[in-house]
Amino acid sequence: MALAAIQGDRTLAELAGQFDVHPNQMQDWKQKLVAKAETVFGAGVADASDHAQIQ
């Protein structure tokens, strides 16, 4: 759900309705993922610019 919120394809309100959670909860999860993305996905994961250079 947090990844969907980060993608920005839909509003937090739309996502909250889809997943049946409060919009504030979606915002909280999104903020936590952004703040701790490195620990979630691991240190040393290439960022988007590194990935683009590889291709």
**Does 20 reside within a domain?**
yes
The confidence score (pLDDT) of residue 55 equals: 45
Give mean pLDDT in consecutive 10-residue pieces for the chain, a chain of 55 residues: 87 92 92 85 60 48
**Does 48 reside within a domain?**
no
Does pTM top 0.95 for this prediction? no
**Counted domains in the chain:** 1
The confidence score (pLDDT) of residue 23 equals: 92
Interacting residues of 34 by C-beta distance below 8 A, sequence separation 6+: 6
**Does 49 reside within a domain?**
no
Report how far residue 13's alpha carbon sits from residue 16's, in angstroms, rounded to the nearest whole number: 5
**Does 17 reside within a domain?**
yes
Residue with tokens 């701790």: 36
| Helices 12-19 and 23-41: angle between axes, nearest 10 degrees | 90
